[in-house]
Amino acid sequence: EVHLLESGGGLVQPGGSLRLSCAASGFTFSYYAMSWVRQAPGRGLDWVSIICDNGGCTYYGDSVKGRFIISRDNSWNTLYLQMNNLRAEDTALYYCVKGVPVAGKTTHFDYWGQGVQVTVSS
């Protein structure tokens, strides 16, 4: 059974940093792209970042580009999101998500973690 367990969230002041982790189990982690998707209070789902199966490529949404860094450790089946220069608008529930490849491209996501809360406030 696939499990994705996020950790590392919390309350941080504007301009601060946090590092989220996602421990994956139940599948061959190194075979799949992994992503972060967030949901701000009262808002819909918002794609944040994705990393290729071998870590060789990364992509970011415009709102986090230059501030967030996605990485993974395939030896430890763990996904990370380093969040720097945090802003109030980054306040959200952050989900760790497993990508599904179709014809070599990740087109959608089949498993989601329960999410970890990040609150940016002074």
Partner 1 sequence: EIVLTQSPVTLSLSPGERATLFCRTSQSASSPVAWYQHKPGQAPRLLIYGASTRAPGIPARFSGSGSGTDFTLTISSLEPEDFAVYYCQQRTDWPLWTFGQGTKVEIK
Residues that bind partner 1 (CB under 8 A): 35, 37, 44-47, 50, 59, 61-62, 95, 100, 102, 105-115
The burial class, CB within 10 Å (0-12 / 13-18 / 19+), for 94 is buried
Closer residue to partner 1 in complex, CB, 35/78: 35
In the 8-state DSSP scheme, what is residue 26? S
Strand partners, 51: 34, 58
Structure tokens at 90: 């980054």
Closer residue to partner 1 in complex, CB, 75/104: 104
Shortest separation between residue 13's beta carbon and partner 1, angstroms: 27
Closer residue to partner 1 in complex, CB, 108/122: 108
